[in-house]
Structure 1
Amino acid sequence: MNDSPTMRILREPRMDHGIPPMPEAAAKIGAVEADAEILRTPSGEGHQIWRVWGLGSGKPNLVFFHGGYGSWIHWIRNVPYFKQHFTVYCADSPGLGDSDPPPDTRNADSIGEVIANGLKQLFPSPDDRFDLVGFSFGSILGGHTAQFMDRRLRRFVLVGAGGMGLSRAEGMPMSRFRRDMTHAEFTELARNNLGILMLRDRAEIDDVALLMQMLNTTRAVTRSRIFAREASLAKVLPKCPAPIAGIWGEFDSTGYPFLHERKELLQAIQPDCPFAIVPDAGHWVMYERPDAFNQTLHELLRS
């Protein structure tokens, strides 16, 4: 369904405090979203939301999972490229973005099973194959989803994955949103948190990134931080029924300067696992360096 050329918000922010009006950023997000179909699969007592570009086109299927406290907007600079070559499915993970919460927001296996059941509805035949790309928390959920999949899953690409139990530099603490913040305080806090965690180059923190951060954070029910420092992905990844690959930004705040540990772990599971590093990029590599990321991912998917 194509409701409107402007951004569709299907689930309202949980906070009483309003998000600053950013019409130009909303229009840019809406322009990417405008030709997407909205599909729904069960999640708890409600639905998981999927945005799909090119449904019925016959192109290969490509599924994107976003990061923690996120939504499909994490992939906004990548959808326009990949929809030329694939039928693109962008999930809002259960309890994040526009999706309703899963039965248990603290159990990654339970969330993964909810998503896997949804994917089996979207791709009802084992011959309906797809590639899966998970960013950050999306890689954790991807691993916990993959264990419930079969030959439908063609390849699983992890981007800036957490949940590996590996070394991580201690960065500056991020600040929490408060209900009494002014619009200016709200915006500055979002900018600061993006600079700490997501983007190495603060010049890339534009209004789209800021609006994304504020929308996503105020709607988050599933709290990803409880999973990020655990080793649940490392434990479940060997159960993945498909080949794996990894992409990291060179200066990913969650991995630098220990990217070699990520490569070693993935290649201990799959010795020929491709591992690509995108130069001069932080954690949100696909937003900060979209052209390099798109080329890198597309080459992996073609291999």
Structure 2
Amino acid sequence: MSAPLPTPATLPTPPAVTALQRQARRLATPCGDGELVWHVWGEGAGTEVTPPLVLLHGGSGSWTHWVRNIGALVQAGRTVWVPDLPGFGDSASPPQGADADAVVEPLAQGLRQLFGSRPCDLVGFSFGGLTAGLLLAAHPRLARQLVLVGAPAMGVVPSRQFVLKAWRHLEAPGQLAAHRYNLAALMLQDPALIDTEEGLALGLHVANVLRDRMPRRRLAHTDALARALAHVPCPVHAIYGATDALYREWIAALQGAYEQATPDFRGLALIEQAGHWVQFERPDAFHAALLQALEAGAR
């Protein structure tokens, strides 16, 4: 008889998450036998003149990857739509597959159901960036422009640049230690951020990885995004933390990779003193870069 699995480590929901949840409207579109859950902020008079701003979160994540950004984007006059991608957060798993390519069709169906023929401005972080590239390669009319944030799969890294610790077999204290290690190894340049703001980063991470039903993703370690971007006709922008752990010293090769792969590449912004989770670590600098990119792509 096998030993029971350890009880997963859990943390209280950070107040910032609770406050944003109360402000959001929740919608759902079909996803296999379940639903794809969407959260929307900033609906109101005047917001219909700009396209919906859709933010896609990263792997082992949920809408909370954008918790430090939603308010500022709403204040900038945007209606912000953030799904829990299929297989993550509150959304059902995709009907087939367990990687970014499996997410494309449920997401495309949801965007058409919500917006009809109206294109959105699409922003994808990490796994969400890979997903966004695959989505627009298959359905190019869904977006007016694309902003990729810390996106993998550009084909410039010869081998994986980080190693994460397994945690599911550990007791609760060991799980939390592993989560702290993994946040520092992959997500954040400054490990001091892990436990600041009432443990916001750690609390978000723990809650998200416990709901990850897509653990065997492999496309991020290929050139799948670079190949997809060849079929994306809209303006494409890129934003990365300058010390992104996905790339490390290879980040200098990204500019050329994007220029070679993308028919309408508008530029790469590198944000200093920021790692992979750039929009969490340097939100003010990220907002400036994102709004500048969105304005430029709209012209």
TM-score (norm. length: structure 1): 0.88
**Alpha-carbon offset, residue 271 of structure 1:** 5.9
- Match of 2:189, SS? coil
Which structure 2 residues correspond to residues 188-203 of structure 1 after superposition, within 5 A?
A: 188-203=177-192
Aligned counterpart, 1:30:
18
Between stretches 262-271 and 128-137, larger displacement belongs to 262-271
Residues 121-159 of structure 1, C-alpha deviation per residue, up to 9 Å, x if partnerless?
Answer: 1111x2x23110100100111011112334341110111
Aligned counterpart, 1:137:
127
Q: How far apart, in 1, do the equivalents of 2:32 and 2:165 lie? A: 30
Aligned counterpart, 1:40:
28
Aligned length, in residue pairs: 284
Alpha-carbon contact 2:99-2:218 (below 8 Å) kept: no
Q: CA RMSD in A?
A: 1.9
Which structure 2 residues correspond to residues 146-185 of structure 1 after superposition, within 5 A?
A: 146-167=136-157, 170-182=160-172, 184-185=173-174
Aligned counterpart, 1:282:
275
Q: Does 1:253 align with 2:242?
A: no
**Alpha-carbon offset, residue 259 of structure 1:** 1.7
Aligned counterpart, 1:9:
none
**Alpha-carbon offset, residue 57 of structure 1:** 4.1
Name the CA shift for 1:224/1:200 in 2 (closer, same or farther; >3 Å): farther
Between stretches 234-243 and 64-73, larger displacement belongs to 234-243
Q: How far apart, in 2, do the equivalents of 1:258 and 1:172 lie? A: 13
Aligned counterpart, 1:12:
none
Q: How far apart, in 1, do the equivalents of 2:295 and 2:139 lie? A: 21
Name the CA shift for 1:272/1:211 in 2 (closer, same or farther; >3 Å): closer
Q: Does 1:62 align with 2:49?
A: no
- Match of 1:83, SS? helix
In structure 1, what residue type is equivalent to 2:184?
G
In structure 1, what residue type is equivalent to 2:139?
M
**Alpha-carbon offset, residue 227 of structure 1:** 1.7
In structure 2, what residue type is equivalent to 1:240?
V
**Alpha-carbon offset, residue 242 of structure 1:** 1.3
Structure 2: any 5+ residue segments left out of the alignment?
none
Alpha-carbon contact 1:116-1:148 (below 8 Å) kept: no
In structure 2, what residue type is equivalent to 1:161?
A
Aligned counterpart, 2:292:
299
Indicate which of 55, 70, 87 corresponds to 1:79.
70
Q: How far apart, in 2, do the equivalents of 1:41 and 1:189 lie? A: 35
**Alpha-carbon offset, residue 178 of structure 1:** 2.0
Which structure 2 residues correspond to residues 222-261 of structure 1 after superposition, within 5 A?
A: 222-223=214-215, 225-261=217-253
Which structure 2 residues correspond to residues 103-142 of structure 1 after superposition, within 5 A?
A: 103-106=95-98, 108-124=100-116, 126=117, 128-142=118-132
Residues 214-270 of structure 1, C-alpha deviation per residue, up to 9 Å, x if partnerless?
Answer: 111111112364121012111111212311010010000001211232211211223
Q: How far apart, in 2, do the equivalents of 1:89 and 1:163 lie? A: 25
In structure 2, what residue type is equivalent to 1:164?
M
Structure 1: any 5+ residue segments left out of the alignment?
1-14
Structure showing the higher helix proportion among its residues? 2
Q: How far apart, in 1, do the equivalents of 2:38 and 2:158 lie? A: 32
